[in-house]
Every structure is written in C-alpha cells, then in structure tokens.
Structure 1
Amino acid sequence: MTPPLLPEALPTVLVVDDEVRSQDAMRRTLDEDFTVFTASSADEARGLLQRQPVSVILCDQRMPGMTGVTFLKEVREQWPETVRIVISGYTDSEDIIAGINEAGIYQYILKPWAPDHLLDSVRNAVEAQTLQRQTSRLDLELRTSNRVLRQRTATQMAQARSSFGFDRIVRAPGSPLDLVCAMAERTARYDIPVLVLGESGTGKELLARAIHYASPRLTGPFVVENCAAIPDSLLESELFGHKRGAFTGAYEDHPGLFQRASGGTVFLDEIGETSPAFQVKLLRVLQEGEVRPVGGARPVPVDVRVIAATHRQLEQRVRDGLFREDLYYRIAGITITVPPLRERVADIPPIARQLVLDVAAELGHPGATLPDEAMACLVAYPWPGNIRELRNEIARALALHDGTRLDAAAFSSRVLQGRAAGGADDLTAAIPQSGTLGERLDVIEAMLLRETLLRHRWNKTRAAQELGLSRVGLRSKMQRFGLDKP
C-alpha cells in the first residue's frame, strides 16, 4: 500500500506584539496559510528565534524596553535571511523611515491594518525570501560551475596536449621527423595557413592535429575533411553548408564544416584532388573569411585556421593548370614536408612496437611482442604505403597468428621477401635488369630461400622438405648466399 503524501510544511511567521488582542487578530488572519508563532517582547522573540527558523517577522514598533526598528536591526545581524516587517501608527513613521535601511526592513504597515493587506504583505514577503534563496543558490551553483568548467577546460587542454602533442608522434632519436616537428611547433603559435606535403600514410593528419593543439586555437574544434572522398557537388555543401530547399533532399538548414569549426582549425586533406571550379569558391572563403551556404542569400562570417594536405606535387599541378596559383599561395603560408617511411628506416622499430600495442589492444591480443627476427623483416621492407600499410600488415599478422610472440612467419610473403607489392609482376620487378642469367637466377633463389626459412622460423629440416632439398644441400645454399639467422 502506498503511504499517503505528507503535507508540505507551511512558512513560519513570528508576530511580536505586547498586545495580546493584536497577536490574536494577526494569528487568525494568517493561520490558514502560515504557521504562526507569537511573542510579547523582544526577549521572548529572541529566545524563540534561537530555537525555531522563521521566514517572516511582524514586529510592532512600540514595545516595552525596545522599539521594533531597534529589535529588527538585531535580527538582521543574527538572522539575515528572515524577512522583516514593522507595524506602526502614523506617529512613528519618521522613526521607521529613518531605520529602514539600517534594519533592512522589507515593508512597514500602518495601523489600523486591513486583513487582506496584511495577508498579501506576508505572502509577498515569503515569496521574496524564496526568490532570494533561489538566487543565492543559483549564484553559488554558477560560481561553482564556472570554477569546475575552468578546471575541466584546463584538464582537457592538458590531456589534449598530452594525447596529440608533437611528443606523441612516434619516432627514433635523431629522426628526420625531429626537424619537421620543430618547424611545425614553431609554426603552430602563428595563425597562418599551413600546407603539409607527403605521401599517403605518412601521418600528415597527425601532424596537423599536433599543430592545432599547440596553437592558441586548441580550445576550439579540430575538424577534418577528405576532399578526395566527396564529389564537388556535395563537397561545397559539406564545407560551406546549405539552406533548406537549396536542392532535393535539403529539408533543413545545414551548417557547413567551416561554421562548425569556427574558432578552431579545419584540416583539408587531399586538397590537390579538388576541381578548379571548387578551388575558386574555396579561395573566396580564405580571402574574405566568410562562407556562402548553398542556396543562401547572405554570406556567413567564419573564424578558422586552415591546414591543407596533399600527396600531390602542387607546384607541378599549378604549372599544368590543374591547380589555381592564387589558391596555392593562399594555403601555402608555410609548407611542411613529411618524409616517407623508407627515408627514415630508424623510425620503423618504435612505430611498429607502438602499432603492435595499439592494434593488439583493439583485437584483444594484449601482450603481443615483436622479436628481433620479425623486426628485421619490417625494417628491410620499403613500405610504399608508409605507416598505413605497416599498420595493416601488423593487424593482419595479429589476426592470423596464434600466441603473443609475433614471429616473422606471421607476415605476408612480400614483407618476408623485402619487396613491395606490385601485382603479378612482383617477382619480375625484383630481378636485376642487368647481369647474366645465372646471376639473375641467384637473386630469385636467395629471395625464395630467405622467405621459406623465415616462414619456418629458420627450421632447416622443414624448409629443406618444402624446397625438396636435403639439409646438407640447404645449408650449402645458405652459405653460398650468406643467409644466416638474424
């Protein structure tokens, strides 16, 4: 059985008057809406206030030993939240008016008072007290929220710098990336456009993100758009937005990426793939600092920093008439080139180890390790797809391999052979273009021997069986080609 709801407590009123008839009259007037206490003197009222919280005090001005205004001054100091009302005759008005501010009197009521007027006055006083309490609470909550927000913002900024800073770009000591990161970090503090060049998969977006979080715009959003992944007709709407009814399917206004990124950074990846027609519109945005949504009549101001990236040689595309020269100079305030992985071989081991940790956690293979033999294979491979290809190779190996030790045999044949993928002509591409037939066949034989040994973890018996050789014959060929276990 559901218990009955308890009635809410009524607001409390204290009537201070030395005349009992006046006390009774005010009690009868207020009894239905309030809990009424009475006192015949200031001493009696003071004792009651020490025991009982009171919302409103109705105090007569003329009392033995102390006037109402004097007593209410004391109440203001000790019980400041209590609303104070004084009741008096005409002859006391000047004294009350003189003490209103000092005693903090909410209202004074002249005798003879009307019951409805008295009731409304007390109701208004209670409402004023409630509003004052709510205002004080909201003010406290606002101050607390602002303090928490500032602390949270500072924490988020520190976490963002820690997660996306230049120190998080994995590389070996003395890596060519050290100079790249130093230049990017110096560039980050200035609000000028940056063009990042480099092959696909080299980490251009990672560098752009580090620039954003090292810049004064770090508290703003960092938004990414791959210009090569969207047709021009949709790219304009995605970047600049559109108005309702601008085209079929535009059922509501859509703020573009530039508007959503206002105050932050826009990263335009593969900007070299955009058409000349779109380049004209993008140039206007960068020059004027405003976008015109598709179907919109008025431009919308935006405040963004643009970082663009491409794997293309934009200067050559400018000469070929495929990229606007004025847009090129607009986005290339500072140009930073990220070298490919094959030009920074020393970075492969730390990057590979970090990728093993990350991918293993994603796939549920914690504790996976890369032994030296497997690392030697990764270092020997040229990685035309750069870090993206390296990540895919590690993910493939972890998915197909049992155990935590990621041996060389877990990797694909092209990595084991140390040659890049290129379709059906991989083997042909690996053969030297000069030399005798025997010399060329030796290259092929050595490559196949090495791959087989790696797959069998340098177990000569199994490798010899697969190749149709005796152990003595295999050992002889290994000596001939200088194939030793790493």
Structure 2
Amino acid sequence: MDSRPVILIVDDEPRSVEVIARVLDEDFEVLTATGAEAALRHLENNWVQVVLADQRMPDVTGVALLAQVRERWPDIARILVTGYTDPDDMIRAINEAGIYQFIAKPWHPDQLLLTVRNAARQFQLQREHDRLSIEMKLLGPTLETRLANRRDRIRQGFHFDTLIRATGSPLDETCRVAAQVATFDVPVLILGETGTGKELLARAIHYGSLRSDRPFQAENCGAIPDELLESELFGHKRGAFTGAVANRVGLLEQADGGTVFLDEIGDVSPAFQVKLLRFLQEGEIRPVGSNESRHVNVRVIAATHRDLGAEVRAGRFRQDLYYRLASMELQVPPLRARPGDIRLLAEVTLDRLCTTHGKAVKGLTEDAIACLEAYDWPGNVRELQNELTRALVLAERDRLGPECLSARVLAGAAQQVGAAPIPGADHGPLRDRVERVEAAILLETLLRFRWNKSKAAKELGLSRVGLRAKLERYGLAPGGATRSH
C-alpha cells in the first residue's frame, strides 16, 4: 500500500492535469479530476491531504469547489492555481475557501513541488495537533508521562544499536566514534556514498545527544535550487516572492534547540555557501524578504557523497565552510565493504517489508543470499531494500530464491563468482575474455532458473548435452562453486 501523501489535482484541462501530476508523482500519490463532481467522488472515497484546484473551470470555479471542501473536509489543505493575483480577489478567496496558498500562473515546477510539500506537512502537523488535543482531554495529567514514554521509544528506535550490522562489521568503529561525538555539542560531517544510511546515523547522533528532546529537521540540499533552499532553511516573509502569501518559519527556526541535518551539502552553490557560513558563524538567520535577523540555537550535522577535501582543493567548496562543518568527520563504509552485514540486513529488511506490504514469506534461500553477498551493491543499502521489495512482490513460494532477483543482481553476482577460475580474463587472448563472459551468462541463467538445466538450455539455445559440456568446462555447480580448467 502506497504510504505517500495523497494529492488531488482538479483542472478541466487534461494537459494541465498531466503536467502537474508529472511534477508531483515522485513524492505523492496523485489523484486527478477534470470537474467538481469527479473531485468530490475522490474526496468521499480517499484519504486526501491536499487539493490543488484551478480557478477557471466551466462547471464551478476553483474557489467555489474549495469552499465546499472546506465545509465538508476542513482539515484538507487547499491550494488555488490562478492567473489572477488581484489582492481583493485573493482576500475574498481566503475568506470563502480558506485557501492555504495561491500558485500564480505561469508556475515553476520547483515552486509547485515545494508548496505542495509544505501543504502536506501542514496537514500532518494539524492531525498530530488534533490527536494530542484529544489525548489531553481524555488523559489529563497522564498525557505528559505518555509523551515522555513516546520520546523514549523514538530515542530507542534511532539508537546506534539499531543500525543493522553483524558482529565485527566495519560499521562498528563508525558507530563507536559517533556515540562519543553525540554527547559533545559540535558540528559533524558524515561522508559516504549515496544510500549508505547517513541520515540514520545523523538521527542516532541527535537522539544520543543532550538535544534529544528537541526537534530533528532534515533537508536535502541537492534537491532544490538556491532560492527555494533559502526559503526552506531560513523561512520567508509574506510577499517576498511570487506565491509567498503568508509568512513561513524555516527549518532552522523550527529546529531551535535541536538538530538540523543538511544532506548533500557538497551540492550547494558557492553563493549559498556564503549564506550558510554566515549562519554558522553568527547563529542568526534572516528570512527571505525580511530586514530583521533572528537568533537560533541548532546543532548542524551535514552529509555528502562527495570528497569535500578534493572539492576545496578544486575551488568548488569554501575552505572556511568546510572547517566549520567538519569539527568531527565520520565515514560510513559502502555496503560492498560490509559483505558480512548483507545476510542480517537482508533478513531484517525483508521482515519489515513483509509487515509493510502484508505478504508473509519465511525468508531467503541460501542461493539467494549467496547472490546478494556476491553482488557489489553500487546503490548500497537503498538498492538492497529496493531489490528485496521487488523480490517480495514477485515471490510465488514461501522462500525467496534467485529466480525472484533482478537480472542486474544475478548478472553482477555471476561475474563476481565467476571471476576467479578463468586466468587472464582482464587481459591477454580474446578467447580467455570471451570465456569469462560466457561463464557469467551461464551462471546467471542457471541461478534464475534455480539450476533447472532444461529451462536454462532452452533459453540459451543449447541442448542439455551442450549445456552440460559447458558446465563441466567451466566447473559450474549449484551454490556458485567453480574450479579452474
């Protein structure tokens, strides 16, 4: 089941609906309607968080539709897309329909995405506020204790021990140093490839620190342009730019007293590096469009997949900013450097996926685990999670075997397993190189068909006798065993 926020787009122009949906569909589950009647049916049958409606529609205006939404579903965030920005019209729309924000035409994709993200976040915060208000009324003085217990559960959920690894893992040393760093209120720079779990480590540092009862806010600095990133971090004043119809508190101010995690810090522009350096030096922010500075007290944990030392030497990253961020530097090893962790990671991840998707399996076969351990995982833990999700969806037995794995993983595992027996495969005669490729293809196909030689021979266009001869030639056997020839 899709756990992303649900967004409803209402516009009588199918092309406009298609364009907006394309901008939003990576972050949200998108529903579409070309009229008010279809929109109301969606709202009656789905748990929608945000409605985005065009103002000019033939059957009913956007404001009139959103006024109905306000009356029947007051919690839903309402966004109006309009080509008119007359102040009187905007005030009237706010009074009639309680518009969360206006998006002026022509809109920019980044502005649209940021606006909808903020609206969905507001919806979640409002629901949380309402839930806590109900608990306050029902539980009275016991609520404080309950909230304290909840904070304790969160801390435990992001403790260093919950970073999955086997005994003797290279990640042990990283976690040991991180646990020491956590109690000292200094900036931390986390280095590592994409998908290695840098944000999980940052959360563990936060919940192991003296700031653990204060907010943790995260932002991917490489995902949005400077103008929107400045608004996200520092906030903005009403009227600061087109579409800014209300004041907005930035993430740095929201996290006051807590921690801000700045992911992909190596991707920010030189111009924004200057603004970030000023904040780190003075502890003050100035919202976009404001003349007043505000003091905030946050701990900054940054992360990047880049070699920031090399970026500094190349002149692409400010040296003074680098030293501000890197009071302590932590390196998260890639998954290919942690082969001993793969079995445990796969088992724990698969168990969690079974719960999430409501499909139970007993685990992975030894052949499947051998394939996972042989693959080099360029996408690291995130790629492993995606691979196991795919395998679970395709599973037809109570255990996941190699036949459920993608051709990419099988081929990569086959190349790793088949690398040793063919001497001179990386250089020398063409025959040796061709034999290496042929052995890898044979092994990948046999793994996919669970060593069913009839099916493998049919796919490869070989007879069973011919396939058997090649297996003997290359010493291929179940379990990935090989021998030199």
Task: Give the secondary structure class of the aligned counterpart of 1:255.
Answer: coil
Whether 2:230 is the aligned partner of 1:201: answer no
Aligned-partner Cα distance in 2 for 1:328–1:467:
54
Q: Which residue in 1 is equivalent to 2:177?
A: 183
Q: State the one-letter code of the partner of 2:379.
A: G
Q: Which residue is 2:475 aligned to?
A: 482
**Cα distance in structure 2, aligned partners of 1:183 and 1:448:** 43
Which of 313, 323, 332 does residue 326 from structure 2 map onto?
332
Aligned counterparts, 1:35-50, within 5 A: none
Letter in 2 for 1:460: K
Could you say which residue in structure 1 is the equivalent of 2:464? 471
In the alignment, what sits opposite 2:309?
Answer: 315
In 2: Cα distance, 1:166 partner to 1:420 partner: 34
Counterpart Cα distance in 2 of 1:310 and 1:420? 31
Q: Aligned to 1:232, which of 211, 226, 232?
A: 226
Q: CA deviation at 1:404?
A: 2.8
- C-alpha distance in 2 between matches for 1:209 and 1:404: 35
Q: 1:360 touches 1:368 (CA, 8 Å); kept in 2?
A: no
How far off its partner does 1:152 sit? Answer: 2.3
CA–CA separation in structure 2 for the residues paired with 1:149 and 1:191: 30
2:46 corresponds to which residue? Answer: none
Give per-residue Cα distances to partners, 1:340-397, cap 9 Å, x unaligned. 0111111111111112112222222123511100010011110111011111111122
**Pair 145,464 (structure 1): closer, same or farther in 2 beyond 3 Å:** closer
Do 2:446 and 2:453's aligned partners in 1 also have CA atoms closer than 8 Å? yes
Aligned to 2:451, which of 439, 458, 463?
458
Counterparts of 1:147 and 1:302 in 2: how far apart (Å)?
A: 31
Residue 306 of structure 1 aligns with which residue? 300
After superposition, the C-alpha distances for 1:444-481 in whole angstroms (9 at most, x for unaligned) are 11111111111111112222233333333323322221
Q: What value does the CA root-mean-square deviation take over the aligned residues?
A: 2.1
Q: State whether residues 365 and 404 of structure 1, in contact with CA within 8 Å, keep that contact through their aligned partners in structure 2.
A: no
Structure 1 residue 403, shift from structure 2 partner: 3.0
Q: Which residue matches 1:436?
A: 429
Aligned counterpart for 2:246 among listed residues 252, 265, 288: 252
What secondary structure does 2:399 align onto? coil
Q: Secondary structure at the match of 2:275?
A: helix
Deviation readout 1:257-297 (Å, 9 max, x if unpaired): 00101111100000000011111111111111110111111
Q: Which amino acid aligns with 1:398?
A: L
Checking the alignment, whether the CA contact within 8 Å between 2:414 and 2:440 is kept in structure 1 is no
Letter in 1 for 2:182: A
Deviation of 1:146 after TM superposition, in Å, equals 8.5
Unaligned runs of 5+ in 1: 1-141, 422-430
Map residues 14-29 of structure 1 onto 2, 5 A cutoff: none
Gaps of 5+ in 2: 1-135, 416-423, 480-485
Give the deviation of 1:410 after TM superposition.
1.1
Task: Specify the SS of the correspondent of 1:162.
Answer: helix
Q: How far apart are the structure 2 equivalents of 1:159 and 1:197?
A: 28
Query: Secondary structure of the residue that 2:222 maps to in structure 1?
Result: helix
Which of 277, 280, 284 is the equivalent residue of 2:278?
284
Spell out, residue by residue over 1:31-72, the C-alpha distance to the aligned partner (whole angstroms, 9 max, x if none).
xxxxxxxxxxxxxxxxxxxxxxxxxxxxxxxxxxxxxxxxxx
TM-score by length of 2: 0.66
1:149 Cα offset (Å): 4.4
Q: Give how far 1:194 is off.
A: 0.2
Q: 8 Å contact 1:240–1:258 — kept in the other structure?
A: yes
Match of 2:372 in 1: 378
1:47 maps to which residue? none
Matches of 1:420 and 1:204 in 2, distance apart? 29
Structure 1 or 2, whichever has the larger Rg, is: 1
**1:342 and 2:336 equivalent?**
yes
CA spacing shift, 1:162–1:289, aligned 2, 3 Å: same
Alpha-carbon separation, structure 2, partners of 1:154 and 1:387? 32
Structure 1, residues 7-52: CA drift from partner, whole Å, max 9, x if none? xxxxxxxxxxxxxxxxxxxxxxxxxxxxxxxxxxxxxxxxxxxxxx
Q: Residue type matched to 2:369 in 1?
A: M
Alignment partner of 1:441: what SS?
helix
Deviations 1:234-260 (A, max 9, x none): 100110011111112111111100010
> What CA deviation, in whole Å up to 9, does each residue of 1:60-107 have, x standing for no partner?
xxxxxxxxxxxxxxxxxxxxxxxxxxxxxxxxxxxxxxxxxxxxxxxx
1:420 Cα deviation from its structure 2 partner: 10
3-state SS of paired residue (2:432)? helix
- Contact 2:449/2:455, CA 8 A, preserved across alignment: yes
Structure 2 CA distance for aligned equivalents of residues 485 and 226 of structure 1: 44
User: Per-residue displacement from partner, 1:310-354 (whole Å, max 9, x unpaired)?
Assistant: 000101111111111111100101000001011111111111111
Structure 2 matches for 1:109-258, cutoff 5 A? 148-258=142-252
Secondary structure (helix, strand or coil) at the match of 2:363 reads coil
Inter-partner Cα distance in structure 1 for 2:153 and 2:242: 43
Residue aligning to 1:125: none
**Aligned letter for 1:313?**
D
1:297 is the counterpart of 2:279: no
Letter in 2 for 1:230: I
Equivalenced residue count is: 336
What SS does the corresponding residue of 2:478 show, helix, strand or coil? coil
Identical residues among aligned pairs (%): 56
